[in-house]
Amino acid sequence: MITITSKTKAIKEQHQGVATLLAFALLPLSGFATDIYIPSLPTMAGEMHVSSIQVQLTLSIFLISYGISQLFIGSVLDSFGRYKVSLVSLVIFAIASIVIASTHNIYLIYLMRVIHGLTVGAVVVAKRAYFVDIFSGDQLKHYLSLFSIIWSTGPIVAPFIGGYLQAVFGWESNFYFLGGFALVLVVLELIYSGETLVHFTEFRFRKIVDIYLTMLKTASFSLGMVMLGLAYCMVMIYNMTGPFIIEHHLHLSPIIAGYSSLFLGFAWMVGGFIGKATINKPFFSRLAANVTVQVVFVTIMIISVNFIANLYSMIFFAFVIHVGAGFTFNNYFTFCLSKFPKNAGIAGGLTGGITYVIVSFLSYGIVNAVPAKDERNLSYSYLILILLSVLIMFVIYSMNKKEIAEPAV
C-alpha cells in the first residue's frame, strides 16, 4: 500500500463543507454534457447538412465513451488518487467543449465527444468516491441516496438553459457554456478541494481484474446495473427523439423543446425523492409496484394516441414513465454503490460504466428501429424498455425466492 505523499494536496478540514458542495455540483456534469444541446439537435443537423441520426450519434458516442471510461477509471482513481485526475480531466473537458463550439465538422465533433465521455467519466467517478472516502454509516447512505436526485438537476436545468442559448446565440453557445462552467469549477477545486484517498491501492493488473470479476459474479450487483441501464435508457430515448417530434412533427420551437425536457427532468427528480422517501420499505415489493405502474401507463399511452396526440398528452405520459425510471434508478444506484465499500472507485466506475454502455447501445438501437417520428413511436420505445424491466424484475424475484428457500433445505 502507498500512502499520500507530501506532494499530494490533501483536503483541508475547514474546506470539507465547500468541497462537498463542489462534489455535488460536479455529479450532474454528465447530464449537462448530454442535455444542454438537446433542443439544438434539429438546428445542428440543418446547419451542418447532416441527418438526424448523425447528430443523435453525438449523444451515443458520448455515452459509449463515458461508459467505457468508468469501466477502467475506478482502478486508476483507487491507485493514483481522485484529486489530480479529476482536475486535469475538467481542464481537458473545457478545451474539448470550446473546440466543438468552434467547428461545424461532424467528425471532429465525434472525436471531441469521445474526449468528453472519457473526461466526464473520470470526474464523476472521482466525486462519487469522494463521499465514500469522507463519510460512512447512515451519513454515507444518506448522501448516496441523494446522488440520483442531485444528478437530475442536469436534465432539469440544462435543456432549459440550452433552449434559450439556442434561440438567442445559436447551438455553439451551448458548448461555450459547458467550457466556461468547467473552468469555473477548476478554479474552485484548486482553492477548496484536495485529495481524499488516504491509502492508495497498489496498481496490480491481476488483482484489479480479480476485483472486477468478483463484482460481476455477484448476481444482485450485475442485475442491478442492468436495471439502471433500462431506467436511464427511457430518459435517453426521449432525449434523442423528443426534440425532433416537438420541432418537426408538432412544429414548435426549441424553447418549447427545452421546457419539455426541463419538465421531464423534474419527473426524474420526483422519482428520486420517492425512492429516497421509501428507502426503508421492502426492496422488491416497491420496485415491483413501480414497474406495474409503468406497464399500465405505457399501455394507456399506446391506446390514447388513437384519440389524442399532442404535446400535452405526450409529456403527461412521459412524465409518469420518467418518474418510475427515476425511482428505479435511485434504488438500484444506492444499492450498487454501497455493495463494495472497500473498492468504492472500482464499484462506482463499474456501475456507471456498464450502465452507460447498456444505455448507449440500447438507445441507439431502439431509435434506429423505431425512428423519431411521433408520440406513437415514442410509446413503442417505452414499451420495449418497460417489458425488458419486467423480465429482469421476474429474474430478481425468482432469485430472491430461491435465496430465501435455500437455508430451509
For residues 243 and 256, the answer to whether their CB atoms sit within 8 Å is: no
Residue 2's H or E segment, with its range, is strand 2-3
Residues found in the chain: 409
Residue among 353, 375, 287 nearest 324 (CA): 287
DSSP 288-357: HHHHHHHHHHHHHHHHHTTT--SHHHHHHHHHHHHHHHHHHHHHHHHHHHTS-GGGHHHHHHHHHHHHHH
Range among 117-121, 335-339, 343-347 rated most confident: 117-121
pLDDT at 163: 83
Q: Average pLDDT in the 280-297 region?
A: 86
pLDDT at 181: 92
Lowest mean pLDDT among 199-203, 296-300, 361-365, 385-389: 199-203
Which residue type occupies 342?
K
pLDDT at 403 exceeding the cut of 70: no
> Rounded CA gap, 257 and 269, in Å?
19
CATH topology of domain 13-196+204-402: Growth Hormone; Chain: A; (1.20.1250)
For residues 82 and 196, the answer to whether their CB atoms sit within 8 Å is: yes
Lowest mean pLDDT among 41-50, 128-137, 282-291, 310-319: 128-137
Rg, C-alpha atoms of the chain: 21
> Rounded CA gap, 113 and 151, in Å?
20
- pLDDT tier, 299 (very low <50, low <70, confident <90, very high otherwise): very high
pLDDT at 288: 84
pLDDT at 228 exceeding the cut of 60: yes
Global confidence as pTM: 0.71
pLDDT at 301: 94
What burial letters (b/e) apply to 328-340, b meaning 16+ CB within 10 Å? bbbbbbbbbbeeb
* Burial degree of 57 (CB within 10 A; 0-12, 13-18, 19+): buried
- pLDDT tier, 2 (very low <50, low <70, confident <90, very high otherwise): very low
Q: Average pLDDT in the 24-51 region?
A: 87
pLDDT averaged over every residue in the chain? 83
pLDDT at 340: 75
